[in-house]
């Protein structure tokens, strides 16, 4: 598979680094010599210097032989023009464009047709709002993924010393879970990924990922010692595009919300667009303001300004003053390994949310959705099992899966199956697979070669 990436910023670099490890042919285009140098020195990919919206540069990058083009620069206009010329030069190439401007997003129907014919438009802010909503729907979770139209939850929880299952071997975990459909799929311990066996223990401080049906989620959280009561009081800090979109989403869920924004003109604009949210002018890091707004009574404080250092400091301050939970907007991927160490476990990143959306279109075959785990060491894929696949019709224990790959759920019509070694996949089943990042190429190869599965 050949993929042309227009833009070597954080999103482009991150996607290129993932795909390069999967032995895909990747070409990265950017005008910035420094950004390209970082790509060239760090990754095993081709680099082309120039404007990605130039037809000559696109041809030089080999657009005519590309399966997918990802236009992910910070400029909507560059992404749109790159898609236009890619469609002219190579109509068969699938085109994904990162688009942030509301004016453009309002005309998706036009942009999905010739002459642009953008196959997928990805709005990072909209994807980030979905991440926030998922986190708010599952109190106690650090990371939340939804599959099978929301019927299956893939949840990450941080185990504390009071957890009823801390120190439990997984072979004994089944006794504590009883008849509940729960599968511990992965453990992240000291920033290292563990695909566990029955002899592995889950320990205090572990980030434990488990699979559960939506209808059994409250009971599953209780097993891990986590609260399941919904949030009712939310404080937003930052009234930019992401803050406004998040506030509108919270209004729909009838959650009592206050929004703090520094700029007076922006506050007036926010007040015109929001019906139920209380808009306050001020500095979200002002202790006196937070005290006046009874920060200690807030279920969650969400910091969404465009400055991530401000977001981090404001979240830490809110926690110190008694806020029950914080969600922090962070864009720089280099900060991710540090946030849990300083006490911030709930992070939202428009860039990472966009990358998760892009991944599902890069995967071969009938992949319906994809999610990268915290730390980026593993990925969860949801796909449809085709009748011609070699994994259909035999027990899972007899299927030759790569090391580090695991089927964690099977959805058959209205039935959800948390599989064992005896479970059998049938044609048209939806299956959810967890794989280490290193195992993705083998998963794709094993399933594609055997008569097209993914």
Q: Where are the domains of the chain?
A: 2-122, 140-223, 233-348, 353-449
R_g over Cα of the chain: 23
CA 205 to CA 183: how far, in whole Å?
19
* Angle separating helix axes 241-252 and 124-137, nearest 10 degrees: 40
410 bridge partner residues: 417, 431
**Residue 395 contacts by C-beta under 8 Å, 6 or more apart in sequence?**
421, 422, 423, 424
Q: Do domains 2-122 and 140-223 have the same CATH topology?
A: no
Give the three-state DSSP class for 208.
strand
Cis-peptide, bond into residue 374, ω within 30° of zero: no
Tens of pLDDT along 142-172? Answer: 899 999 988 999 999 999 888 999 999 999 9
Tens of pLDDT along 84-107? Answer: 999 999 999 999 999 999 899 999
Assess whether pLDDT exceeds 50 at residue 449: no
Fold of the 140-223 domain: Alpha-Beta Plaits (3.30.70)
CA 384 to CA 351: how far, in whole Å?
27
Which pTM was predicted? 0.85
**Neighbour order of strands in the sheet with 46-49:** 46-49, 25-30, 2-6, 68-71, 94-98, 120-122
Fold of the 353-449 domain: Alpha-Beta Plaits (3.30.70)
**Residue 215 contacts by C-beta under 8 Å, 6 or more apart in sequence?**
none
How confident is the prediction for the chain on average, in pLDDT? 89
pLDDT value at residue 448: 57
CA 188 to CA 293: how far, in whole Å?
36
> Of 150, 154, 152, 127, which is closest to residue 141 (Cα–Cα)?
154
Q: Which two tokens stand for residue 164?
A: 């009823």
Which of the four CATH numbers 3.40.470.10, 3.40.980.10, 3.40.140.10, 3.40.50.720 does domain 2-122 have?
3.40.50.720
pLDDT band at 30 (very low <50, low <70, confident <90, very high): very high
**Residue 73 contacts by C-beta under 8 Å, 6 or more apart in sequence?**
6, 7, 9, 12, 30, 52, 79, 82, 98
Classify residue 323 as left (phi > 0), alpha (psi -120 to 50) or beta. Answer: beta
pLDDT value at residue 447: 59
Determine the CATH number of domain 233-348.
3.40.50.720
């Amino acid at each position: 598979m050949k993929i042309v990436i227009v833009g070597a910023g954080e999103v482009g670099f991150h996607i290129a680094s993932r795909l390069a490890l999967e032995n895909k042919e990747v070409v990265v285009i950017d005008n910035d010599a420094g950004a390209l140098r970082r790509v060239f020195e760090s990754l095993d990919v081709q680099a082309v210097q120039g404007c990605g919206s130039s037809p000559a540069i696109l041809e030089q990058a080999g657009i005519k032989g590309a399966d997918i083009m990802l236009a992910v620069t910070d400029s909507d206009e560059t992404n749109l023009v790159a898609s236009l010329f890619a469609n002219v030069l190579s109509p068969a190439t699938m085109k994904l464009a990162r688009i942030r401007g509301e004016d453009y997003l309002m005309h998706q129907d036009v942009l999905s047709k010739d002459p642009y014919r953008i196959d997928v438009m990805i709005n990072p802010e909209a994807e980030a709002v979905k991440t926030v909503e998922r986190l708010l729907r599952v109190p106690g979770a650090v990371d939340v993924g939804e599959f099978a139209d929301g019927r299956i939850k893939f949840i990450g929880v941080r185990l504390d010393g009071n957890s009823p299952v801390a120190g439990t071997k997984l072979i004994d975990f089944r006794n504590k879970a009883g008849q509940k459909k729960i599968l511990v799929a992965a453990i992240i311990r000291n920033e290292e990924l563990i695909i566990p066996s029955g002899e592995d223990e889950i320990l205090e401080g572990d980030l434990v990922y488990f699979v559960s049906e939506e209808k059994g989620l409250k009971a599953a959280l209780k097993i891990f010692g986590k609260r399941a009561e919904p949030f009712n009081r939310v404080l937003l800090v930052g009234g930019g595009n992401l803050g406004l979109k998040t506030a509108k989403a919270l209004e729909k869920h009838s959650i009592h919300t206050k929004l703090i924004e520094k700029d007076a003109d922006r506050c007036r604009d926010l007040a015109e667009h929001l019906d139920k949210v209380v808009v306050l002018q001020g500095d979200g890091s002002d202790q006196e303001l937070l005290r006046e707004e009874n920060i200690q009574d807030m279920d969650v404080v969400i910091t969404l300004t465009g400055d991530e250092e401000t977001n981090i400091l404001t979240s830490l301050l809110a926690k110190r003053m008694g806020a029950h939970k914080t969600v922090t907007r962070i864009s720089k991927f280099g900060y991710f390994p540090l946030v849990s160490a300083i006490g911030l476990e709930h992070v939202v990143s428009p860039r990472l949310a966009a990358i998760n959306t892009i991944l599902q279109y890069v995967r071969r075959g009938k992949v319906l959705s994809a999610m990268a785990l915290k730390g980026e060491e593993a990925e969860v894929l949801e796909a449809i099992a085709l009748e011609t696949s070699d994994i259909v019709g035999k027990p899972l224990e007899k299927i030759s899966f790569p090391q580090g790959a695991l089927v964690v759920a099977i959805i058959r019509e209205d039935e959800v199956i948390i599989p064992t070694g005896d479970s059998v996949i049938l044609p048209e089943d939806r299956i959810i697979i967890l794989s280490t990042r290193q195992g993705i190429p083998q998963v794709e190869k094993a399933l594609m070669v055997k008569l097209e599965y993914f």
